[in-house]
Amino acid sequence: MKKLALVSLLSLALCGPAQAFGLNTLLSAGTDLVKSATLSDAEVQAMAAESSKALDKQAKVAAAGSPQAKRLAKIVSGLSSEDGLKLNFKVYLDKEVNAFAMADGTVRVYSGLLDKMTDDEVRYVIGHEIGHVKLGHSKKAMQVAYAASAARKAAAGSGNANVAAFSESEMGELSEQILHAQFSQSQESDADAYAVEFLKRHNYKLDAAPSALRKLAALYGNDSSLLSSHPAAGDRADKVEKLIK
């Protein structure tokens, strides 16, 4: 959700007389909204852990002995931690070409990505997603999603029932918002640069970075879940090649 839309939603929720809203709900929403801008790293990690549980529950997770899970285990062999994160990996059986990482060390790779990428290209994608976490991009996305939840609480204070702090359904919705967060041009470029350093640290093939981006561009243009509308994947691949050289 765009920040402007978030502000507009909150304004609409709070513009009427105070008597029109449940006071407790308003106080809770206001507290959550303020808190969204000051979430500590520990709180972000705890919320990420809860979000990953919600997403795992919604997804079809590959069994440990499945071909997809075995392949991912091979790809990430020796990668139990990275840059302070204790990593845990699972495969989602989903044709979408996607992957994500979260602040608690959760890394999820979709089977659609495994179908399209070589092992080293998958490693680049994993490094890119970890980069979003370590560079603070995922935390900002979580703050926006958390604030949106607070705005909905305020809107519901007019009398809609069943407003509770992070019910199971709300956590699922929050997790989906975090998962589908859109990163800026500079954030994508910074995560690409982080991924290149990630490949270097582990002696993975560096040319996997531009080849993964070009493969996604050829397959999907900029419609892939892993590609932002700008910068174009081809431009990102060119920049990554310069970093490698």
C-beta separation of 72 from 109 below 8 A: yes
C-beta separation of 151 from 29 below 8 A: yes
Active site residue 170: no
Tokens of 7: 């502000």
Q: Label residue 50 exposed, middle or buried (CB < 10 Å: 0-12, 13-18, 19+).
A: middle
Active-site residue identified among 82, 121, 129, 188: 129
Strands of 55-151 (E only): list them: 81-82, 85-86, 88-92, 99-101, 106-110
Tokens of 174: 């929050």
Tokens of 192: 């690409």
d(CA 225, CA 179): 10
Q: Tally the residues of the chain.
A: 245
C-beta separation of 157 from 25 below 8 A: yes
d(CA 210, CA 31): 44
DSSP track, 25-78:
HHHHHHHHHHHHTS--HHHHHHHHHHHHHHHHHHS-BPPTTSHHHHHHHHHTTT
> Which residues have a catalytic role annotated?
129
